[in-house]
Structure 1
Amino acid sequence: MKTSKPEVVVITGASAGIGRATVREFAKRGAYIGLIARSSDGLNKARQEVEAAGGKALVLPTDVSDPAQVEIAAAMVEKEFGPIDIWVNNAMTSILSPFLEITPEEFRRVTEVTYLGYVHGTMAALRRMKPRERGTIVQVGSALAYRSIPLQSAYCGAKAAIRGFTDSIRCELHHDGSNVHITMVQMPAVNTPQFDWIKNNMTHKSQPVPPIFQPEVAAEAIVWAATHKRRELYVGSSTVEAILGNKVVPGILDHYLGKTGYKSQQTEQPENENRLSNLWEPLPGDRGAHGRFDDQAQNYSAQLWATENQDWLVLGLGAGVALVALGAYLGHQSQQDSQDHRITESDINQEVSRQLHQTVNRSSKLNNWNLLTGLARFAWKTLATESKNHQKATQS
């Protein structure tokens, strides 16, 4: 679906994985996209995909750990396409290793790309969006921002830092009364090429912890978050379970993950000791969006669908409850002999119509919450009135 005015979008980590899938999703909308990553091969292929879908793209080879490079990239996007509407921070790198086997330089590098890269991107975006009083920043997060696992101390630390940093910025935007929106999308395990490019100090090849989702599921969530005013979005029931579980039984999860977390993040295939990583330099070639786990990955998240449609689900549930209550009332009403001081079926129909009419007139869009609460209030008043009438009839 193309919008009347093309969105101007910047995506970091756009050359592969979730970023690449997100590029394709925005391209379907005819967006003009600034493509930021280190890999020129992947960026050029992504540009071709955007143009084939009817959008426009600007290739911007950039290391997000360098704030000057990020600022230059942002300026080039606005010079080419105009004001940036949406900025998606997604670039990352990682290392799978016990903490004491990571060098200080390696830990710093993961932090500079995965955490400070988001800081630099957010700075560049806010410098432009805040004076204009419009724009959306999407931080691509992870369930690991809440529930850390072993062997990923640098990555988990970065994701948790992003969450804390984002919450602080959001408070400042509220203080200033700004219309700029910032949101964070917490991801589950996703089938991306990262498991073949991160530095791996373990003896076996790395893998995401199941259940695994395809990057298109993540991309759908990012685009949805960019176009809806939600503070935070969880993707996949596994993300919800990890976050809620950590709130309820964090100590038990510490012990459980200590026992299972090493094995669950490695396949049975030995790792190639000479395999290159992208920790310091991009790897050659186009890696695409998918990793090597297509046979295990899910193409759909029922939890995400429910989140995207929660207003209508709540409306349906609330309306159902109200109708059941009204049905019970009508059934009871028909059994009464006396009609004095009773609400008639016509009264009910008129009140429901009035509630619907008022709700629709209050907004150009159907306000589900007003409709739900209106029906609920009316159902409650109806039952309360019937109870009083029944008491009067009994007393007489």
Structure 2
Amino acid sequence: MDDVETARRSVVITGASGGIGRASAVAFAARGDQLALIARGSSGLDAAVREAERAGAAKVVAIEADVADAQAVDAAAQQAEDELGPIDVWVNDAFATVFAPFTEITPEEFRRVTEVSYLGYVYATQAALRRMLPRDAGVVVQVGSAIAYRGIPLQSAYSGAKHAIQGFNEALRCELLASGSHVRTTMVQMPAVNTPQFDWGRSRLPERAQPVPPIYQPEVAAQAVVYAADHPGRREYWVGASTVGTLVANALAPGLLDRYLARTGYDAQQDGHRRRPGTPDNLDEPVDAERDFGAHGRFDDRARERSLQQQAAHALGSLTDAVRHTTGRLARLRYGKR
């Protein structure tokens, strides 16, 4: 059976101090799971722990680590198992970005974004599999984006990293299937989400960065992450009608979408307010070491609190699971098996 049991589990989340990672920590906590939260910023991480504990987590462990450091990630995985027991679910969410035209991003910045946003997923997945494969059990959830399929202007480094995650995750999934392993990996492609990244991401834009509307609250994304962890048999999930529309349009008419984004992509990613020069960013050092930014960005008044597409997809998935379970049970009864 591809789906995992939903009893209390040990869940590790990277990038857990803000945004989707923070909201996912609360969502898993509300189910009574025990959590290991990994992030760089101590203030944001400590606040995430308190929030998860209030939500009902059985136990919460805070681990400061930079996912760009493979040894640090492996040490974090070992600490999680030492304190919580075997890891059941690993969620990769940590990332960094630079908002700027490609020609204005330095080689050092491109390398750093790649190390965090792509190699961080690779290192964390390797650390998880070192522990899951010998037990032949576990789920890895890769938090992706529509950008994994459709690169957009002003985010070339981030687009490249998300494309890379898509490629390595597909290859890994094939290898797990070929080996007959019961370890599962799945990816959740997200829409634009109201997170702090637009305040702490490095930017050279003349105006403040914003997600391309429509914007969803991080709790919508977190619900999808939890659902994917419960139902890892599907190779990936698309969240939000905008994600579905973008990926379908890119599959059918990528050239037209190139031209559309060339016309609209610059203005759509800026909010009309001048950016303050010298604003701190989290590319090299965490900005939430002294201040907690929380899960939400500054777009609460514009963000959607639910996705009808996601609800419909989950309902259809649950119906499919029920039909499959019933069909299997009838087959076992027919042939005298229980």
> Is the CA contact (8 Å cut-off) linking 1:170 and 1:182 kept in structure 2?
yes
Q: Deviations over 1:137-184 (max 9, x none)?
A: 000000000011100000000000000000000111011110000000
C-alpha distance in 2, partners of 1:108/1:311? 39
Letter in structure 2 aligned against 1:137: V
Q: Deviations over 1:287-310 (max 9, x none)?
A: 100000011100010100111011
**Which of 40, 43, 46 pairs up with 1:41?**
43
Q: Deviations over 1:203-228 (max 9, x none)?
A: 10000000100000000000000011
> Is the CA contact (8 Å cut-off) linking 2:6 and 2:230 kept in structure 1?
no
1:77 aligns with 2:109: no
Aligned to 2:282: 278
Shift, 1:311, TM fit: 4.3
Letter in structure 2 aligned against 1:187: M
Letter in structure 2 aligned against 1:77: A
1:128 aligns with 2:140: no
Shift, 1:359, TM fit: 6.9
Aligned to 2:184: 181
Aligned to 2:12: 10
Q: Deviations over 1:34-68 (max 9, x none)?
A: 11010111111111122222321111000000000
Q: How do residues 248-287 of structure 1 correspond to structure 2 at under 5 angstroms? A: 248-283=252-287, 284-287=290-293
> Is the CA contact (8 Å cut-off) linking 1:51 and 1:57 kept in structure 2?
yes
1:209 aligns with 2:178: no
C-alpha distance in 2, partners of 1:254/1:42? 37
Shift, 1:95, TM fit: 0.5
Aligned to 1:293: 299
**Which of 11, 20, 27 pairs up with 2:29?**
27
TM-score for both structures, normalised by structure 2: 0.92
Shift, 1:361, TM fit: 3.1
1:196 aligns with 2:202: no
C-alpha distance in 2, partners of 1:130/1:358? 30
Aligned to 2:149: 146
Q: Deviations over 1:310-340 (max 9, x none)?
A: 1466799x9xxxxxxxxxxxxxxxxxxxxxx
**Which of 50, 53, 56 pairs up with 2:55?**
53
Q: How many residues align?
A: 324
> Is the CA contact (8 Å cut-off) linking 1:306 and 1:313 kept in structure 2?
no
Identity, % of aligned positions: 54
Q: How do residues 228-239 of structure 1 correspond to structure 2 at under 5 angstroms? A: 228=231, 229-239=233-243
C-alpha distance in 2, partners of 1:29/1:136? 17
Shift, 1:5, TM fit: 4.7
Shift, 1:9, TM fit: 0.4
> Is the CA contact (8 Å cut-off) linking 2:208 and 2:275 kept in structure 1?
yes
C-alpha distance in 1, partners of 2:308/2:87? 32
C-alpha distance in 1, partners of 2:260/2:192? 18
Aligned to 2:309: 303
C-alpha distance in 2, partners of 1:358/1:256? 46
Q: Deviations over 1:204-259 (max 9, x none)?
A: 00000001000000000000000112110000011011111001100011111011
Distance 1:124 1:97, change over 3 A: same
Task: State the superposition RMSD in angstroms.
Answer: 2.0
C-alpha distance in 2, partners of 1:217/1:300? 6
Q: Deviations over 1:339-364 (max 9, x none)?
A: xxxxxxxxxxxxxxxxxx97753479
Aligned residue for 2:282, secondary structure, equals: coil
C-alpha distance in 1, partners of 2:43/2:332? 48
Letter in structure 2 aligned against 1:25: A
Q: Which runs of 5+ in 1 are unaligned?
A: 319-356, 365-396
C-alpha distance in 1, partners of 2:52/2:317? 32
Larger radius of gyration: 1
Distance 1:360 1:36, change over 3 A: same
1:98 aligns with 2:67: no
Aligned to 1:387: none
TM-score for both structures, normalised by structure 1: 0.79
C-alpha distance in 2, partners of 1:133/1:118? 20
Q: Deviations over 1:260-292 (max 9, x none)?
A: 100100011000011010000001311100000
Aligned residue for 2:32, secondary structure, equals: coil
Deviation above 4 Å: which 4+ runs of structure 1? 311-316, 357-360
Aligned residue for 1:168, secondary structure, equals: helix
Q: Which has the higher helix share?
A: 1
